[in-house]
Amino acid sequence: NIEEADPIGALTRNAGCVAHIHISENDRGVPGRGNIPWRETYAAIAEIGYDGWLTIESFGRGLPDLAAATKVWRDFAESPEAVYRDGYRHISTSLKQA
């Protein structure tokens, strides 16, 4: 989303190199609450035949040194539990629809 002009194309072009996928929202908050094109992303994950782990990558302020290093100055979710609870729900629902 950040480094690639076409993240979905980058995923499909490099399918043979994919070993692990991080699910991260554009603001590093709860997956499904931002503007990532998730339907297309999960379709691409299915298309390349990836069946490994999908890890939620979200930032927060729980570790002050890490928050300072990553320039996190606000909370991206109402709680850490919301990140994994709602993020997991988003992933499992989206994969079924892919």
For 31, other C-beta atoms within 10 Å of its C-beta total: 26
> Which has the closest alpha carbon to 15: 39, 49, 51, 65?
49
pLDDT confidence bin for 98, thresholds 50/70/90: confident
Helix (H), strand (E) counts: the chain: 4, 2
DSSP-based three-state secondary structure for 82: helix
Domain positions in the chain are 7-97
Kindly state the average pLDDT of the residues 81-95. Answer: 95
pLDDT confidence bin for 10, thresholds 50/70/90: very high
Mean pLDDT of the chain: 93
End-to-end CA distance of the chain, in Å? 19
User: Which comes out higher in pLDDT, residue 44 or 4?
Assistant: 44
What is the predicted pLDDT for the residue at 17? 96
